[in-house]
Amino acid sequence: AQTVTQSQPEMSVQEAETVTLSCTYDTSESDYYLFWYKQPPSRQMILVIRQEAYKQQNATENRFSVNFQKAAKSFSLKISDSQLGDAAMYFCAYRASLNYGGSQGNLIFGKGTKLSVKP
Amino acid sequence: ETGVTQSPTHLIKTRGQQVTLRCSSQSGHNTVSWYQQALGQGPQFIFQYYREEENGRGNFPPRFSGLQFPNYSSELNVNALELDDSALYLCASSPPTSGGRRETQYFGPGTRLLVL
């Protein structure tokens, strides 16, 4: 069974600085997606960034980028120029990408990392 | 474009009661998934609906059931509520698969259920 592990329950960063959130996962599949979702106190789960496992290039979305190491099964999120609005719970998630073979289409989440941003 | 919406936002029930939570999927999305998020935890998959049929289920008992309607909206029903059912219930919708590949899930704001 697939698992996702986030080893940092809490992280803190100074405004305008850079922070990296860690995530490791375990799977026997070769084709899958990895995601980072942000959940602010409003509870809405917001997609931050998506990585397709077959793509070697790391995904980027403005100030957010990932370091995807497929062999090491590592998927970290880097937030540059941190802003007060980045404060939230961040969840790493895995999902099998192919819609066949009995694999379920659900997301598998880690336990999350609470990010605080200091002014 | 309207995103995923859920109702109600908050709900208080007593042990043994039944509850129905509702979800409207994002326009063009035909798949709906439900997740339970206990306090301080990541979401756990309950089940998924596609074309009005259950299409995958997590480790939840049969008292958790669902429906999907022709307009792709969905309901989550929980019977015989237990104290441990207190959680945030999240609905997520996704568009049709493309070339056999699943698409990204987009979440609603959730329903906070408290069981006393």
What is the per-residue pLDDT across B81-113, written as a single tens digit (0 to 9) for each? 999 999 999 999 988 877 666 778 899 999 999
What distance in Å separates the CA atoms of residue A117 and residue B83, rounded to the nearest whole number? 34
H helix count then E strand count, chain A: 0, 12
Residue contact A91–B45, C-beta within 8 A = no
Residue B46 has pLDDT above 70, yes or no: yes
Residue A100 has pLDDT above 60, yes or no: no
Is residue B81 within 8 Å of residue B16, measured between CB atoms? yes
Q: Which residues of A touch B107 (CB under 8 A)?
A: 37, 44-46
Q: How far apart are the C-alpha atoms of A47 and B104, rounded to whole Å? A: 9
Residue pair B47/B58 in contact by the 8 Å Cβ criterion: yes
User: Cβ separation of A44 and B109 shorter than 8 Å?
Assistant: yes
Phi (first) and psi of residue B111, to 5 degrees? -120, 125
- pLDDT tens-place string over residues A45-98: 999 999 999 888 999 999 999 999 999 999 999 999 999 999 999 999 999 876
The residue of chain A nearest to residue B101, with distances taken between CA atoms, is: A98
Residue A25 identity (one-letter amino acid): Y
Q: Is A18 on the interface with B (CB under 8 A)?
A: no
Please report which residue ranges of B3-99 form alpha helices under DSSP H: none
What is the rounded average pLDDT of the residues B17-27?
95
Report which secondary-structure segment, H or E, holds B6. strand B5-7
List CB contacts (< 8 A) between B59 and chain A. Answer: none
